Chains A and B, each alone.
Chain A
Amino acid sequence: MISFFIYKAILVVGIFAITLFVAAYSTYAERKVAAFLQDRVGPDRAGPFGMFQPLADGLKFMMKEEIIPDFANKFLFILGPSIAMMTALMAGVVIPWGNSLVIDGKQYFLQIADLNVGILYVFAVVSIGVYGIMIGGWASNNKFSLLGAIRASAQMISYEIAMGLSIIALIITTGTLSLREISLLQTGGVGGHWNFWNVVYQPVGFIIFLICAFAETNRTPFDLPECETELVGGYHTEYSSMKLALYLFAEYINMFISSAVISTLYFGGFNFPFMNDLGLDQNTITILGTLFFFAKITFFIFFFMWIRWTIPRFRYDQLMNLGWKALIPLAVINIFITGLVIIIKTHYLN
């Protein structure tokens, strides 16, 4: 029992640390990617290639003056970024970061909690995340913040529907809500059991999910809640110092978690091609699989940034049109076709 707690504690602390590390270096990567895509160099003064830039940024945020506006509701003003950060961190609990390590004949799963409704849990937590933005924007007592918060809530609610519907089609094909089981169903291997990644079965679902993930994480082209050119800073206009940092950090953590969820659901999670045909033992496969998983996540984080510097921001009505009139019908049709194919497969082809 004690060893169980120690193993969970190590896992929790480790994933917490990795999440923060990845989020911190995402800020650095964002600036570097932005620079490279615009033929610039990017931050390169702090350490070799500017590697210590996140540390410098963090220190700067700590040292900045903390301003809470007089007319702001102090309790809610502080609660906002706390919720944003907390929910962002909570979603990492159900993601299977790797298969299982076998040490002294005991199996240790590299997943904090294997909920049988894992993907639902992620959705629940991410939906609470919008409260952080809404409460923060409303408590600031500033019209720009309020507009940003309204946009955030409207955007997230509309895109969550399409996202959920795109997931339903995936669940029809996999038959499980547990992220670990969804990962295991995509185990790659030639010897007798060749499973494709879900993106092969659900390409339309994947595209819908990806677009909605952009909207859920408030990234360009759907960064209307922030919208520097129209709303000063959107919901975090009034925020300064570490509270602003928490909001920005939460966005990067969300991006990391979204990338992890996309990789798990559609790109095989911790599986990699030919994993069972190379004659490796279980632990090596697990470690390699975790590395592959992080490679996939890194690619998707890069993809988020890549898109950011490619596509301009949508107008608010275009955003709503796309969400309600394009993605939701498309997701419904996707569910219908998936269901039809499954029925035909199970009833007529066997």
Chain B
Amino acid sequence: MQALTNRSKVVVKKQMNFWERIYLPAILGGIVITIKHLFRKSSTVKYPETKREISQIWRGQHVLKRDEHGAERCTACGLCAVACPAEAITMVAAERVKGEEKLYREEKYASTYEINMLRCIFCGLCEEACPKEAIFLTDRILPTDYGRGEFVFGKDKLVEPVDERVDVTVRQTAAVLEFKKHKQYSHNK
């Protein structure tokens, strides 16, 4: 039979010669190989001190944005929850009452908004689905925790603080904004 590739090797059951049978030359070769590794640079990245370079459009922990006046942008339309392939997002909508105009941008808002980070696959479809520019994935790496309950992130962890805005401009490039104008193509099917 003709070989498909030229990488195949014919196996021969070769008897080991004397030097191969006394192991020692092979062992010496082995210890030379291992000692060479002693002088190599270690490939460890010591995480909290040094961080490995991440992609420009890294999809990490989510943020719920506020507008320029500090009001929450989310209107609890539920498109993100529909778009989510992992079904990680749940929310409860509420109506804005008088006096809350500073807090919420539109008449309807999310009274609870939870993302189960253990379900989330960080695909970014919620961000793509959002018509209000409210949810974004950021370059923050999700913190670890001890219990499963702690990984259900509520509004306390998701909404950006008024005085500590999260920069998402890398994910809001002109091309993205242009794409978002025609978002009926992507999720209105």
Which A34-61 residues sit within 8 Å CB-CB of chain B? Answer: 35-41, 44
- Closest chain A residue, CB of each to CB of B40: A39
Residues of B within 8 A of A35 (CB): 42
User: Which residues of chain B are within 8 angstroms of A307 by Cβ–Cβ distance?
Assistant: 31
Give every chain A residue within 8 A of B30 (Cβ-Cβ): 310-311
Interface set, chain A 1-57, CB cutoff 8 A to B: 35-41, 44
Identify A39's interface contact among B27, B35, B42, CB under 8 A: B42
* A307 CA to B42 CA, complexed, in Å: 20
Q: Are A38 and B37 in contact (CB under 8 A)?
A: yes
Beta-carbon contact of A39 and B43 below 8 Å:
yes
State whether B38 touches A36 (Cβ < 8 A).
yes
Asked if B46 CB lies within 8 Å of chain A CBs, one says yes
Pair B27/A37 contact, Cβ less than 8 Å: no
| CA–CA, A306 and B38, complex, Å | 10
Question: With an 8 A cutoff between CB atoms, is A121 at the interface?
Answer: no
CA distance A311 to B43 in the complex (A): 23
Is the beta-carbon distance between B34 and A40 smaller than 8 angstroms?
no
Q: Mark B19-38, 1 if CB is under 8 A from A, else 0.
A: 00010100100110111011
A309 within 8 A of partner (CB): yes
Q: How far is the CA of A36 from the CA of B124 in the complex (A)?
A: 40
Asked if B42 and A37 sit within 8 Å, CB to CB, the answer is no
User: Which of A37, A207, A311 is close to B38, meaning CB atoms less than 8 Å apart?
Assistant: A37
With an 8 A cutoff between CB atoms, is B41 at the interface?
yes
Residue on B nearest A326 in the bound complex, by CB: B22
Q: Chain B residues near A38 (CB, 8 Å)? A: 37
Q: State the Cβ distance, A236 to closest chain B Cβ, in Å.
A: 27
In this assembly, does B6 line the interface, its C-beta being within 8 Å of a C-beta of chain A? Answer: no
Residues of B with C-beta under 8 A to A39: 37, 40-44
Report chain A residues within 8 Å CB of B41: 39
Residue of A nearest to B46 (CB): A41
Specify which chain B residues have a CB less than 8 angstroms from the CB of A44 in the assembled complex. Answer: 46
Among B24, B38, B40, which residue has the most Cβ atoms of chain A within 10 A?
B38
A40 near B44 (CB under 8 angstroms)?
yes
The distance from the CB of A159 to the nearest CB of chain B, in whole angstroms, is 16
A310→B27 contact, CB < 8 A: yes
Distance of A294 Cα from B138 Cα, bound (Å) = 55
Residues of B within 8 A of A (CB): 22, 24, 27, 30-31, 33-35, 37-38, 40-44, 46
- Listed in ascending order, the chain A residues whose CB lies under 8 Å from chain B are 35-41, 44, 207, 306-307, 309-311, 326
The 10 A-B residue pairs with the shortest CB-CB distance, nearest first, are: A41-B44, A310-B30, A310-B34, A37-B34, A310-B31, A37-B37, A36-B38, A41-B42, A39-B43, A39-B42
What are 16 A-to-B residue pairs whose CB atoms are below 8 Å?
Answer: A35-B42, A36-B38, A37-B34, A37-B38, A38-B37, A39-B37, A39-B40, A39-B44, A40-B43, A40-B44, A41-B44, A306-B35, A310-B27, A310-B30, A311-B27, A311-B30
